[in-house]
């Protein structure tokens, strides 16, 4: 049994529904036993409950739950920062040529290893990851994640039209590829790239996989870019809107995570909410690719679930705190503005993602019994963050969390644990 002593923040309740959903312990303790949370609370109380536990004094730093990224592409790690495009020309000119390089499994393994290291270094312990169009490359990602000890959900990316020829598969081959990966790896996700690159036969295959394997997850893109939405309407003339394409093939339910949904209509929002689908909101990508502004207030009104995704490499990096800050900034200036609170930002980066992936019983906050998945942040000496926190801490926990989300980046992350095991330590912490 170990006690970590530091300031601790988490959101075991939903701050979009309840006031005071931020659980804050400025002199806090997280008691860990066998990789699980035994207790989380005020240091004095937790210490009294576990007088024999070893104490790690981490005061001066901040513990948050491990971040949950609900939408990220592993083959795109090396093209982050390709600015000046919109979705379809970005895919054609920059992204798909890079994704084609993953046909070389040695190249793919190197990318997978960089990718999981970057997740861990940014405090992301759970992620829903778009795999590769190639089965060996997707296997390399699962293997790299397993080796690192991260909770990665992923699958073979499926396309049989619109993308360059070497990224296409026949639906029957895609089916066999999915089944053989599913046999080898846990946390498999059926992953057609988007309706634009999947024929009806391919979407049928996706539906068959979901029917044959109850509990299997599903992910894809939806309503990201206006040109994409128009093209999908042209390709599926029978469909009343974009969502209806996925509905028709039985792909929509509580296990589905759809990325973006910027241009969804009110009826789509209503149906998404009724089906319990989660939207992966990717604010840096939405801005970088000029895709549009996520209608967050409309999602809230409709009761549609959403969490955050970095959408690397359309997004600007692996930082989930940066993503939450971007969501806050953009919503301030949206046509229908919404002011996200620090508690809501923390929730969107942690527990909301766990709910989207159906792992809220395992991770996302520090309720007793959950896995000890955590990020330990310590502002560097002399940093602006350090100075701000000295003052913010005197005022309120919300101020502290707001300052962390505004100013903390990967350089502030000293340690990341997954089920109580370090998956990342900065050089200073190791020495």
Asked if residue 342 has a cis previous peptide bond (ω within 30° of 0), the answer is no
The smaller minimum CB distance to ligand GUN, of residues 223 and 363, is found at 223
Q: Is 69 among the residues that bind Zn ion (CB under 5 A)? A: no
Select the binding partner of residue 151 from ligand GUN, Zn ion, none (C-beta < 5 to 8 A, by kind): none
Q: What residues pair up with 151 in beta bridges, in sequence order? A: 126
Distance of CA 342 to the CA centre of its chain: 18
Rounded to a whole number of angstroms, the minimum distance from the CB of residue 397 to ligand GUN is: 34
Rounded to a whole number of angstroms, the minimum distance from the CB of residue 155 to Zn ion is: 14
Q: What is the CA radius of gyration of the chain?
A: 21
Rounded to a whole number of angstroms, the minimum distance from the CB of residue 116 to Zn ion is: 18
Task: Give the DSSP letter of residue 188.
Answer: B
E-assigned strand segments in 74-179 = 124-130, 151-155, 157-158
Binding track over 248-287 against Zn ion, x by CB under 5 A:
-----------x----------------------------
Q: Tell me which stretch binds ligand GUN (CB under 6 A): 18-26, 87-95, 361-369, 385-393.
A: 87-95
Q: Which among 197, 117, 107, 186 has a CA at the least distance from the CA of 154?
A: 186
Q: How far apart are the first and last CA of the chain?
A: 23
Distance of CA 136 to CAs 110, 127, 142, 313, Å? 13, 20, 10, 21
Among residues 268, 311, 355, 365, the one that binds Zn ion under rule CB under 5 A: 311
The smaller minimum CB distance to ligand GUN, of residues 153 and 366, is found at 153
Select the binding partner of residue 370 from ligand GUN, Zn ion, none (C-beta < 5 to 8 A, by kind): none
The smaller minimum CB distance to ligand GUN, of residues 314 and 353, is found at 314
The answer to whether 363 and 66 are in contact (CB under 8 A) is: yes
Select the binding partner of residue 142 from ligand GUN, Zn ion, none (C-beta < 5 to 8 A, by kind): none
The answer to whether 128 and 153 are in contact (CB under 8 A) is: yes
The answer to whether 71 and 259 are in contact (CB under 8 A) is: yes
Binding track over 139-178 against ligand GUN, x by CB under 6 A:
----------------------------------------
Q: Give the count of residues interacting with Zn ion (CB under 5 A).
A: 2
Tokens 């994409």 label which residue?
A: 228
The smaller minimum CB distance to ligand GUN, of residues 93 and 395, is found at 93
Please state whether 392 falls in left (phi above 0), alpha (psi between -120 and 50) or beta.
alpha
Q: Is 75 among the residues that bind ligand GUN (CB under 6 A)? A: no
Rounded to a whole number of angstroms, the minimum distance from the CB of residue 87 to ligand GUN is: 6
Rounded to a whole number of angstroms, the minimum distance from the CB of residue 389 to ligand GUN is: 34
Q: Is 194 among the residues that bind ligand GUN (CB under 6 A)? A: yes
CA atoms within 13 A on the CB side of 270: 4
Q: CA 112, CA 152: separation in Å to the nearest integer? A: 12
Q: CA 84, CA 123: separation in Å to the nearest integer? A: 29
Rounded to a whole number of angstroms, the minimum distance from the CB of residue 286 to ligand GUN is: 9
Please state whether 382 falls in left (phi above 0), alpha (psi between -120 and 50) or beta.
left
Q: Is 228 among the residues that bind Zn ion (CB under 5 A)? A: no
Binding track over 297-326 against ligand GUN, x by CB under 6 A:
--------------x--x------------
Interface ranges with ligand GUN (CB under 6 A): 73, 87, 91, 95, 193-194, 221, 224, 285, 311, 314
Q: Summarize as ranges the residues that interact with Zn ion (CB under 5 A).
A: 259, 311
């Amino acid at each position: 049994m170990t006690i970590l002593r530091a300031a601790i923040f988490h959101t075991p309740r939903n701050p979009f529904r309840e006031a005071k959903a931020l659980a804050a312990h400025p002199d806090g303790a997280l008691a860990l036993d066998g990789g699980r949370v035994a207790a989380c609370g005020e240091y004095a109380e937790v210490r009294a409950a576990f007088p024999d536990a070893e104490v790690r004094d981490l005061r001066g730093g901040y513990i948050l739950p491990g971040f949950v990224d609900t939408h990220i592409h592993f083959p795109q790690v090396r093209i982050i920062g390709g600015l000046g495009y919109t979705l379809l020309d970005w895919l054609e000119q920059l992204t798909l040529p890079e994704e084609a390089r993953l046909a070389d499994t040695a190249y793919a393994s190197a990318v997978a290893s960089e990718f999981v290291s970057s997740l861990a270094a940014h405090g992301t312990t759970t992620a829903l990851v778009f795999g590769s169009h190639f089965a060996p490359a997707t296997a390399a990602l699962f293997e790299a994640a397993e080796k690192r000890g991260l909770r990665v959900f992923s699958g073979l990316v499926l396309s049989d039209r619109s993308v360059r020829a070497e990224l296409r598969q026949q639906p029957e081959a895609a089916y066999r590829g999915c089944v053989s990966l599913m046999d080898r790896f846990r946390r498999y996700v059926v992953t057609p790239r988007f309706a634009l690159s999947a024929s009806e036969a391919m979407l049928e295959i996706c539906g068959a996989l979901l029917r044959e394997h109850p509990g299997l997850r599903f992910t894809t893109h939806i309503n990201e870019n206006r040109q994409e939405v128009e093209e999908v309407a042209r390709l599926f003339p029978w469909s009343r809107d974009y969502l209806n394409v996925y509905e028709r093939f039985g792909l929509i339910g509580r296990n589905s995570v759809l990325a973006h949904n910027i241009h969804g209509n009110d009826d789509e929002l209503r149906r998404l909410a009724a089906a319990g689908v989660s939207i992966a909101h990717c604010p840096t990508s939405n801005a970088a690719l000029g895709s549009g502004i996520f209608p967050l207030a409309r999602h809230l009104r409709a009761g549609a679930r959403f969490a955050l995704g970095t959408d690397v490499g359309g997004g600007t990096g692996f930082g989930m705190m940066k993503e939450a800050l971007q969501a806050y900034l953009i919503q301030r200036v949206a046509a229908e503005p919404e002011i996200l609170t620090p508690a809501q930002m923390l929730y969107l980066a942690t527990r909301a993602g766990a709910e989207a992936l159906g792992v809220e019983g395992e991770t996302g906050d520090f309720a007793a019994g959950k896995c000890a998945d955590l990020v330990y942040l310590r502002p560097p000496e002399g940093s602006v963050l350090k100075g701000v926190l000295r003052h913010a801490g005197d005022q309120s926990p919300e101020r502290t969390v707001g300052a962390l989300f505004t100013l903390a980046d990967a350089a502030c992350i000293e340690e990341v644990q997954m089920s109580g095991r370090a998956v990342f330590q900065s050089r200073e912490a190791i020495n």
